[in-house]
């Protein structure tokens, strides 16, 4: 029988690792167009991957807890994740002025890797 917390940590670790790898792969593809698109793809992918890591740490970091606390941890993790993602995307677009298309490509690549990881680790 699986321990659901241990299994959840395992799935989250694999998903984040796959997202980071997908982000690096997209950055290598974008490097054909220059270093700025490559950096933008890397930032977009890492924003999603680190956001999911923050969610996983918030959800699984405290170990066994009552269902109500787990639900609140999931809600808090989502809020933390989306604040992080929005802050990084704002900085990438408004402050660092990175190319949007490459940034979006990295973001999409990381999110696709997340969905693949969830399907592959069932």
User: How many Cβ atoms sit within 10 Å of the Cβ of residue 92?
Assistant: 22
Overall number of domains in the chain: 1
Map residue 122 onto helix, strand or coil. coil
Mean pLDDT within 96-122: 94
Cβ–Cβ under 8 Å, residues 121 and 14:
yes
Q: Say if residue 3's pLDDT is above 80.
A: no
Domain around 82: 4-120
Tens of pLDDT, residue by residue over 62-102, are 888 888 999 999 999 999 999 999 999 999 999 999 999 99
Cβ–Cβ under 8 Å, residues 106 and 26:
yes
Tens of pLDDT, residue by residue over 26-42, are 999 999 999 999 999 99
In eight-state DSSP terms, residue 121 is T
What's the predicted TM-score (pTM) here?
A: 0.91
Check residues 1 and 46 and name the one with the higher pLDDT.
46
């Amino acid at each position: 029988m699986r321990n659901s917390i241990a299994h959840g940590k395992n799935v989250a670790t694999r998903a984040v690792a796959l997202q980071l790898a997908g982000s690096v792969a997209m950055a290598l593809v974008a490097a054909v167009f220059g270093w700025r698109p490559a950096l933008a793809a890397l930032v977009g992918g890492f924003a999603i991957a680190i956001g999911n890591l923050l969610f996983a740490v918030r959800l699984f970091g405290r170990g066994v807890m009552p269902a109500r606390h787990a639900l609140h941890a999931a809600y808090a993790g989502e809020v933390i994740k989306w604040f992080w993602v929005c802050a990084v995307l704002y900085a990438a677009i408004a402050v660092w002025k990175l190319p949007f298309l490459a940034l979006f490509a990295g973001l999409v690549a990381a999110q696709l890797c997340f969905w693949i990881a969830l399907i592959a680790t069932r």
